Structure 1
Amino acid sequence: MIRNIFSCIIICVITLLLFSLFTIKEGHKGIILRFGKVLRDTDNKPLICNPGLHIKIPFIETVKILDSRIQTMENQADRFVTMEKKDLIIDSYIKWRISDLSRYYLATGGGDTSQAEVLIKRKFSDRLRSELGRLNVQGIVTDSRNKLMADVRESLNNGTSGEESMDFQFSNIKKINCYQSMNNASIHKDYYISNSFNPNSMAALGIEIVDVRIKQINLPTEVSDAIYQRMRAERDAVARRHRSQGREEAEKLRATADYEVTRTLAEAKRQSLIIRGEADAETARLYATTFNEDPSFYILIRTLRAYENSFKKTNDDLIILNEESDFLRFMKSPKKFTAH
C-alpha cells in the first residue's frame, strides 16, 4: 500500500515537472499567460521568455511562443496614383519583426501572423499611397525611390499626424481578446499611454518595420498598350526618315560614281588617242628616216606587204597583169631588177 502511494506521488511529481518545464527554440520568444492574461512584473512590463529552458505553473499558466525573427511579407501588385494623376502598378514587399510581444499578442488576437500582416498591409498601402501622391513618375523611378522607401518605413514605425483614435485601437484589442476583463484592457491602455506610442504607428501594435522595398513598377495594361503604340509610331516615323535619307545618299553616291566612271573613261580615251597619235607620228618618222637612208629597201618592204595582202590563201580574187608590169618586178630574175 505504501509502495503504491509512493509510486503515485512519483508519477504526480514527474507529471507536474513535465507540465511545468518548457523550452523555447532559437529565434523565438515567449510570453506567459495566467488565466488568459499577460503576466507582468512589478514595473507592469510583460515577462519575456528568451530561448532556453523555463518553468511555469502547470494548469494555471500557459506559454505563447512567437517568432521573433525578421519576417518577409509579399504584397500583391496594386494600383497607385502619382502627383501627375497617372496610374502605376507597384509590386513591393515588407520586412518586419515583433518589437513588443505583449502589444503584438493583444493587437493580433493571440499572436496570429495573418492578422498582423493584414494590419501591416492596410497601413503600408495607405502610407505608400500618400507618399506616391506627392511624387511624379520620374521621381518614383529614379533616385527618389530610396528616400520614398525610407519615408514610408519611418512613417509606419513612428506614425503620422493623421492619427487614429486610441479608442479604435483598444476596441479592436478588446474584440480579439474578449476573454480579458475590462480592468485588464484599461491597464493595457494606461501602459500604451505611459510609453507615449503614436496610436497610428506600428510600434503601437508591437511591430517594427525593418525595410520596405519596391520590386517592380509597371504601367497599367491599357496605358502600356497606348504607350507602345505611340512608341511604335514614333519609331516607324524615324525609320521612314532614315530610309529616305539613305535613298537620298544612295542616289548621290550613285550619281557621283557614274560621273567618276564617265570622267575616267573620257580621260582614258583622251590619253589613248594622244598615245596613238604620238605612236603614229613616231611610226611615220621612222618610216621617213628609213626611206631616206635606204629607199630600195623601203620599196622592197612595201612591195612584199602588197604581195602578202594580194596573194592570201583565202583571197579568191582574180588578178590579171601584164608580165611587164612593175608590180611583179620582184618576182622576176634578179638580173633584170632595176631600182627606181
Structure 2
Amino acid sequence: MRTVSVLAIAVIVAIIVALSSIFIVDEREKALVLQFGQIKAVKEEPGLGFKIPLIQEVVKYDDRILSLDTAEIEVTPSDGRRLVVDAFARFRVADVVQFRQAVGAGGIRAAESRLDSILNAQIREVLGETDVTSNTILSSDRAALMTRIRDQARARALPLGVEVVDVRLKQTNLPQQNLGATFDRMRAEREREAADEIARGEEAAQRVRAQADRTVTELVSEANKNADITRGESDAERNRIFAEAFTQDPEFFEFYRSLTAYQRGLQGSNTSMVISPDSEFFDYLKSDQGR
C-alpha cells in the first residue's frame, strides 16, 4: 500500500514537472527562454516550447503592431512662429533578442518610454529645420515631414530591436498665449483689407460720378448750343418774313408793329403813359373824325 502511494506521488510530481516544462506561444507572440537572466532559446513561431522547470523561465512579447501617443511638445519652425504638436507612432518588436538586451525586464513599457524620447527629438529636429515653416507644417506638405520623422526615428530605434512602422502628427495648434495675438493680427489684417476695398470702391464711385457729371455738362452744353442755333435760325426766319411782309405792304406792317407796341405798352388795368397826344404812337387809335 505504501509503495502505491509513493508511486502515485511520483507520477503526480512527474506530471507537474512535465507540465511546467511546456509553454505555448500563439501567433501574436514571441518568447524568450531565460536561465538566470541569460537568453537560452528564442521561440518566434507559434506552437509548443520546452524549458527546464524551476531553472528556466519564459518571457513573452507582443508581436503585433503597437501604438504610442506622444505628449504635446512645442516646436519653433524657421519662421519663428511657435506651434504645439502631438503625434502617434506605430511600432513592433522586430528583434526580440536585441529588444530584451536593450530594455531588460522593463519590457514594452520601458521601450515606449525610450521610443517617446526618440520621437520627440526627431519631431523637434525635423520641424525645426531651415526649410520648414509653420505654413509647411499646416499644409499638405506635412506628409513629407512625417515621412522624414518616421525614417529618422526608425534608424534610431533599431538598437532597441524596435521597428517604427509609421509616425503621424495628430494636432498642430498655436500655443494658448499666442491665440489672442494671432486673432488680433488676423482681425487687423481683415480690417485693412476691408478698408482697402472701401477705398477702391470710393475711388471707382468718384470716377463714375465725375464721368456722369462730365457727360451731363457735355449734353447740356450741346443742347444749349443746338437751342441757340435753332433760336438764331428762327429769329432769322422771322426777320426774313417780316422783311418780306414790309416790302409787300408797308402800311400793314406799320399797323402790325403799332398793335404789337400797344399790346406791350398797355398791359394791366392801371397803366400810365406820359406822351404827347400828337405823338405818332397813337396814330392808329385816332378816328378819322378826330384827325
TM-score, with structure 1 as normaliser: 0.55
Q: Is 2:61 the partner of 1:66?
A: yes
Counterpart selection for 2:47 from 48, 52, 66: 52
5+ residue gaps, structure 1, are 41-46, 159-200, 257-340
Partner of 1:105: 100
Equivalences for residues 211-230 of structure 1 within 5 A: 211-230=166-185
5+ residue gaps, structure 2, are 213-291
Q: Is 2:189 the partner of 1:208?
A: no
Partner of 1:81: 76
Partner of 2:191: 236
Q: Kindly provide the amino acid, as one letter, of the partner of residue 60 in structure 1.
A: I
Change (3 A) 1:247 1:121: same
Q: Cα deviation per residue 1:56-91 (whole Å; 9 max; x = unaligned)? A: 111111000111111110111110111223211111
Q: Cα deviation per residue 1:201-221 (whole Å; 9 max; x = unaligned)? A: 211111110000111111112
Partner of 2:141: 144
CA contact (8 A) 1:66 1:111 kept: no
- State the distance in 2 between where 1:243 and 1:48 align: 76
Change (3 A) 1:11 1:214: same
Q: Which moved further from structure 2: 235-244 or 63-72?
A: 235-244
Partner of 2:8: 7
Q: What SS does the aligned partner of 1:63 have?
A: strand
- State the distance in 2 between where 1:248 and 1:49 align: 79
Q: Is 2:154 the partner of 1:153?
A: no
Q: Kindly provide the amino acid, as one letter, of the partner of residue 230 in structure 1.
A: R
Q: Cα deviation per residue 1:133-166 (whole Å; 9 max; x = unaligned)? A: 21112222234322222222222222xxxxxxxx
Q: What SS does the aligned partner of 1:112 have?
A: helix
Higher RCO (C-alpha 8 Å, min separation 6)? 1
TM-score, with structure 2 as normaliser: 0.64
CA contact (8 A) 2:71 2:87 kept: yes
> How large is the RMSD of aligned CA atoms in angstroms?
2.8
Q: Cα deviation per residue 1:24-53 (whole Å; 9 max; x = unaligned)? A: 23311111101221115xxxxxx2243222
Q: Kindly provide the amino acid, as one letter, of the partner of residue 39 in structure 1.
A: K
Partner of 1:123: 118
Q: Cα deviation per residue 1:293-329 (whole Å; 9 max; x = unaligned)? A: xxxxxxxxxxxxxxxxxxxxxxxxxxxxxxxxxxxxx
Q: What SS does the aligned partner of 1:39 have?
A: strand
CA contact (8 A) 1:96 1:209 kept: yes
CA contact (8 A) 1:80 1:88 kept: yes
> Percent identical across equivalent pairs?
30
- State the distance in 2 between where 1:83 and 1:250 align: 44
